[in-house]
Chains A and B, each alone.
Chain A
Amino acid sequence: MRNLFAFIRRYSVLLFFLILEITSFLLLIRYNRFHQAAYMDAAGEITGRVQSKYGMVESYFYLRKENRDLRNKLTDLQNRLAENFQNPDTTVLLKTDSIPLDTTGRLRKYQYMDAEVVNNSTSLPTNYITIYRGSKQGLEPGMVVLGPKGVIGVLLDVSENFGTVMSMLHRQSRISASLKKTGESGRIEWDGMDPHKVQLRDIPKSVKVVKGDTVLTSPYSDFPPGIVIGVVEQVFLEKSTNNYLLQVRPSTDFSSIRNVFVVKNLQRDEQLELEKRLSKKK
C-alpha cells in the first residue's frame, strides 16, 4: 500500500496528464456519437451570444452581395407565382392557395423559414454553421437548410435561440443527390480537403456524365427535390467499384453565407412512421 502511494506521488504529473488526455478523447468520441452533449448546450448559448454580436458587425461588409442574391431569389419566386400563368383552357382553373389543405386535396409539404447566420467556418474538416433561430422560433433537429444559391446543410441541434447546422462541408455529411439530365441518384460527401469540391458517389458507369452537368437534390432526400447542389467539375472512374467518382463544385460559396432558409418537411413524421412500421414487420 505504501508503495502504491509512493508510486502515485512520484508519477502524479504523468497520471494527471493521462487523465486529462483521456478526458479530451472521451469528450471527442462522445460528442461525435451523441450530438446533444449537455455541456455544449449551455456553452452554445454563451458562444452563440458572442458570435451574434460579431456577426452584426461582419454582416455590413456583405450587404451589397447579399442584397443582390436575395433579389435574384425574389425574382425567381415572383416568376413562379400562379398569376404569371395564363391558362387557355377555361374548364380548368389553376389556383395556388396558402391554406395547408386546399379543396383539390393538395397538401403543403415544405415550409420555409428564414434565419441569419451568426457563425460559420470552412477551414476545418468538420464545419458547422450557427444560425440565429432556435427551438423557440420553431426549429427542430433534422430540418434542412438552403441558401439563396442552393444546398447548405442539415440542422443538427437547437438551443432556445440558436441552431447548429452541419454544413455540406463536413466529412460526416451525406446528402442524397441526383443528376439533372438523367435522374440517376447518388450521394454527396466531402473528403474534408478542398471546400470548393464535394464528391458525388454511387452513380453507375452506365450513365453518360460529362463535365458541366448539374447536380440536384434527389426526391429521396429530406431536401425539397430539385434544389441545385452544384456542377460536375471532374469525372473519375472508381476502380474498385462499378461507379463514378464525380468531383462537384458547390453552387454555394460557403465562406460568404449570411442569410439562409430553414425548410421544414411537414410530412416527414408521417413518412418516418410508415417506414418504421416496415422495419418492425421484418
Chain B
Amino acid sequence: MSDFLRYTLRLIILILVQVFVLYQIPPLHQYFSPVLYYIFILWLPFSISRTNLLIVSFLTGLSLDVFTKTPGMHAAACVLIGYIRPFIINILMPQRGAEFNYKEPSAMALGFVPYLTYVVSLTLFHHGVLFTIQAFQFGNIGYLFFKTTGTTLISLFLLFVVEITFNRKQKFITNT
C-alpha cells in the first residue's frame, strides 16, 4: 500500500471514529470528553516538510470541523500542534539519525520517556487551544484548567490503548 493511501485511510478512520463514536458518547462528566483524532498529526512521518505538515494539520482539523459544524475550531488547534511538532521532535531526538531509521514518531523511535513527553506536550497544547476557543463565552479559568487536564488524561488512556492494539509497522528505512 502506498504511503499516501495509508495515511488517507488512517485520517478517514480517525475522523469517523471521532465523529460517530467518541463525540456520540453521552458525557460521563462535564470535564471529560474523549478526543483522539489528533494522533493522526502525531503519527505523520518524520520526512514530511514543515509547510506540508501545516497544510495537512489544517485539513485534518477542517475535515472534523465540517462534521461538528464549528469551522476553524479544531483547525486552529491542529495547525498549532503542526507548527510546534518539529521543535519538540528536535529537542527530544535521542541521537542524530533516528529520523533516518524510523519512519514515524513512536516509542521505539524516540524511546519511551521522550515519546511520552512528546505526546503529553502536544496533547496539552491541542486541548488547551481547543477548549480556550470553546470557552470564549463562559471564560472560567478553573473550568478550562480541569477540562484540559481531564480530557488529556482520557486522551492519553485512549492513545495508550490504540498504541498497544494497533501495532504500527516500525519499518527500517536504512540498515545503519
Using a CB–CB cutoff of 8 Å, the interface residues on chain A facing chain B are 12-13, 16-17, 20-21, 23-29, 31, 37, 39-40, 43-44, 46-47, 50-51, 54, 119-126, 128, 164, 171, 191-195, 255
B137 within 8 A of partner (CB): yes
B72 touches A24 (CB 8 A): yes
With contact pairs A12-B51, A31-B71, A195-B27 given, residues A17 and B83 touching in the complex (Cβ less than 8 Å): yes
Distance between Cα atoms of A23 and B55 in the complex (Å): 12
* Bound Cα distance A21, B69 (Å): 18
Binds A, one of B74-82, B92-100, B101-109, B167-175: B74-82
Known A13-B51, A47-B66, A121-B68; judge A21-B27 contact (CB<8 A): no
Contacts of B33 in A (CB 8 A): 123-124
Please tell me the size bucket of the interface on B: 35 or more
Q: Which residues of A contact B135 (CB under 8 A)?
A: 125, 192
Residues B133 and A40 in contact, CB atoms below 8 Å apart: no
Q: Which of B16, B30, B51, B54 contacts A194 (CB 8 A)?
A: B30
Evaluate contact between A20 and B79: CB separation under 8 angstroms. yes
| Given A54-B20, A124-B23, 14 more pairs with CB closer than 8 A | A17-B83, A24-B61, A25-B72, A27-B72, A28-B71, A40-B69, A43-B66, A44-B66, A125-B137, A128-B69, A164-B69, A171-B138, A193-B138, A255-B26
A193–B51 touching, CB < 8 Å: no
Report B-chain residues with C-beta under 8 Å of the C-beta of A191: 138
| Distance of B97 from chain A, by nearest CB (Å) | 23
- Nearest B residue to A35 by beta-carbon distance? B69
Establish whether residues B72 and A193, one from each chain, have CB atoms under 8 Å apart when the complex forms.
Answer: no
| 5 nearest A-B pairs in the assembled complex, by CB-CB distance | A27-B72, A28-B72, A24-B76, A24-B72, A43-B66
B24 within 8 A of A: yes
Q: Does B118 contact A (CB under 8 A)?
A: no
B145: CB under 8 A from chain A?
no
Residue-wise interface mask of B (146-176) relative to A, using a CB-CB cutoff of 8 A (1 in contact, 0 not): 0000000000000000000000000000000
Residues B138 and A122 in contact, CB atoms below 8 Å apart: no
Q: Is the interface of B mostly helix, strand, loop or mixed?
A: helix
The reply to whether A192 and B138 form a contact with Cβ atoms under 8 Å apart is yes
Find chain B residues with CB under 8 A from A28 CB.
70-73, 76, 133
Minimum CB–CB distance for A51 against chain B, Å: 8
Of chain A, the residue at the smallest CB distance from B147 is A193
On whether the beta carbons of A16 and B76 are closer than 8 Å, the reply is no
Residue from A27, A46, A192 within 8 A of B71 (CB atoms): A27
Q: Is the beta-carbon distance between A122 and B26 smaller than 8 angstroms?
A: yes
B86 to chain A, nearest CB (A): 9
Q: How many Å from the CB of A16 to the closest CB on chain B?
A: 6
Q: Please state if B72 and A26 are interface contacts (CB–CB under 8 Å).
A: yes
CB-contact partner of B58 in A24, A43, A125, A255, under 8 A? A24
B70/A31 in contact, CB under 8 A: yes
Which residues of chain B come closer than 8 Å to A164, judged between CB atoms? 69
Which of B50, B55, B75, B83 is A24 in contact with, Cβ under 8 Å? B75
Residues of A within 8 A of B134 (CB): 124-126, 192
Query: How far apart sit A266 and B73, CA to CA, in the bound complex (Å)?
Result: 37
Contact among A16, A40, A50, A120 with B54 in the assembled complex (CB-CB below 8 Å): A16
What residue in chain B is nearest A57 (Cβ atoms)?
A: B20
**Known contacts A43-B66, A123-B25: A37-B76 contact under CB 8 Å:** no
- Closest CB of chain A to B22's CB: distance in Å? 8
Contact of B23 among A13, A16, A46, A123 (CB under 8 A): A123
In the bound complex, CA of A12 to CA of B75 (Å): 20
* A13-B54, A20-B58, A24-B75 known; A123 vs B27 contact (CB < 8 Å): yes
A residues less than 8 Å from B30 (CB atoms): 193-194
List 15 contacting pairs A-B, 8 Å CB cutoff, sorted by A.
Answer: A17-B54, A17-B82, A20-B58, A24-B72, A25-B76, A27-B72, A28-B72, A29-B72, A31-B72, A123-B26, A125-B137, A126-B70, A126-B134, A193-B143, A255-B26
Please name the residue on chain B nearest to A12 by beta carbon. Answer: B51
CB contact under 8 A between A47 and B20, given known A13-B54, A20-B58, A124-B134: no
B61 touching A122, Cβ below 8 Å: no
